[in-house]
Structure 1
């Protein structure tokens, strides 16, 4: 999986707001930076206009449209968001590995041919992935977005965590029981590790090439981390997350990039793993809303920057409730002037009021600047 892109990185606009990057690297800042998971998407009326009835993945693959959707929240909430995140999906890695993925409206992702047996792996998966070829559209979207942002805020690239991708690849979509994913790691542990390693290898190259294309900060979404026991997390998730943190910077050096690109890990529901995640090689650890900020700060003990963790459901509340919960969160993380990035504890919902989100962001600025 070697190769280079023809990207003129010297032509990228100068970054005007580096607050996110400084906070992610653990530097003291004047206020905590703000961004929101799934900030580009379904809750914005302009998203539906730009999507114009297209299939979700078709929308992702159109660089012009993906760039427009990525920038929409930055434009709407000008001066309130400190980062953009490329409009894409974690399931592009299984697609690159040869799996068909559909996104069904109202239902979510669907794999017509999930991995249920060892024979399925041989039949369905491509183990020799040309990342530059298979995900060329993703890199084009990142480069175009970086140019069109005009340096207003830095751009996040991202990928799914290996265990999370294995869940989708084996379950065929979302799940409540996680029967097939659990069957894989318990009936075929050796083959599971082989699969996880292959996903990890692709993820490392994908993340590194996103930086070449223009991403300035990275996040790994281990969205189903909390479905593993502590022991299984240590075996089937953590080692692969650590590999990504260790190998992406090395790969970037091979690709001629010497800048310090911060990396964030978000392992939703993995409450038992916070101490280990804070020593896993990432500069930032993102927390879901189940965490008490003060407890998380104690466990972290100034090792990394913490990100999060407002329950997105708070946005359905009154302005008074949003203020109260936001103040409690920022205070719990020590006031936000060091080792903290404001975010939700998960993504936005399609039903959210855009003006309530504006109010939340304004309150983050007011409270964080105090």
Structure 2
């Protein structure tokens, strides 16, 4: 690992360890994203995945919100995408303007040669995703210790959905077909993805990530029993095996965050899943979540991202409710949105959101 400058703001990492802190740390999902005008300047004519594959561009995009909101946010998250894992597995993924990610040739059935090839392939994530690790190391160097840096990956269930649907979906026809028609092959694919996620996250930590998050963006598409069968075991596999892999690499253990969007019914299970931090979406009541967690984990979240369209008065009201629900936030809470920053948000409204959390949680 490279020698990095001493961390100046360790508020988020202290909170992740369960310590009593002077105020709740703040960051938001999709933080290094397309809502900033400077993003489009740095991106230039490069497509989305070309930006991910360029350590220089990815590190620049990661730092843009840290620079713009200097002193207001307490972590950076590397500019990348959850779908780099399917790419490393040999699948083609394109980012289509105004549509999102697109797989021209998704997995159709376990009988297809593509599925057999993917299951047989020995994926070298060290080689295939080297550009991510280079971007992380470069970003840590550029950060100069200002705030800690998040690494991340997609959860196995969410990645399977993309790989069989060919992109985002409203009905998840193919995902449900695989779930119910090919349960054994689905589990085999989920385990293969899980093992790749462990290695990918470990190498992110080796490159300089100080905390990692697993995004289960399509968890809401599962029933409670299906979540216990097809998502939770693989989330737990990652949380159990990542520390082991870090020890093998002689690296420090880092805090782990799980964010299962829409799986409000599984909060108790997620608190026992081996992660130190559980992210909440905006469908959960903070005070109720705090009761269920009962000190087992740190909670992260969970303002409705849509409030950023509503103006200052609405933002203040939502922040007040959130701070009150999380008991003032001096322990056990990382302030965040309940999902990522959505398109067309005014960066000044996001700044006001950060400022209000600071104001309403000041010692």
Bin the TM-score by the shorter chain.
over 0.9
Task: Describe the superposition over 1:60-92 as per-residue Cα deviations: whole angstroms up to 9, x where unpaired.
Answer: 111011000000000000000100000000000
* 2:182 aligned partner: 188
Q: Which residue, out of 211, 222, 225, partners 1:228?
A: 222
Q: Point out where structure 2 has 5 or more consecutive residues left out of the alignment.
A: none
Deviates more, 1:124-133 or 1:337-346: 124-133
Aligned partner of 1:336 in structure 2 is 329
RMSD, matched Cα: 0.9
Indicate the SS of the match to 1:78.
coil
Offset, 1:123: 4.2
- Aligned ranges 1:131-150 → 2 under 5 Å: 131-150=125-144
Which stretch shows the higher mean deviation, 193-202 or 259-268?
259-268
What is the aligned partner in structure 2 of residue 198 from structure 1? Answer: 192
Q: Does 2:19 align with 1:27?
A: yes
Distance 1:58 1:126, change over 3 A: farther
Aligned to 1:55: 47
* Structure 2 match to 1:169: 163
- Tell me the alpha carbon deviations over residues 177-198 of structure 1, each in whole angstroms, 9 at most, x when there is no partner: 1111111111111111100000
Q: How does 1:315-354 map to 2 (within 5 A)?
A: 315-354=308-347
Asked if 1 retains the 8 angstrom alpha-carbon contact of 2:247 and 2:253, the reply is no
| Separation in 2, partners of 1:81, 1:159 | 21
Q: 1:365 aligns with which of 350, 358, 363?
A: 358
Gaps of 5+ in 1: 1-6
Q: Does 1:288 align with 2:281?
A: yes
- Equivalent residue for 2:30? 38
Distance across 1 between alignment mates of 2:348 and 2:39: 15
Cα distance, 1:318 vs structure 2: 2.1
**Which runs of 4 or more aligned residues in structure 1 lie more than 6 Å from their structure 2 counterparts after TM superposition?**
none
Q: For residues 105-130 of structure 1, what are the alpha-carbon distances to aligned partners after superposition, in whole Å with 9 as ceiling and x for unaligned?
A: 10000001101111130145663111
In the alignment, is the contact (CA less than 8 A) between 2:107 and 2:115 conserved in 1? yes
1:303 match: 296
Q: Summarize the alignment of residues 262-273 of structure 1 with structure 2, pairs less than 5 Å apart.
A: 262-273=255-266
Q: Partners in 1 of 2:276 and 2:119 — Cα distance?
A: 32
Q: For this pair of structures, how many residues does the alignment match? A: 361
Matched, 1:241 2:252: no
2:282–2:338 Cα contact (<8 Å) kept: yes
TM-score norm. by structure 1 comes to 0.96
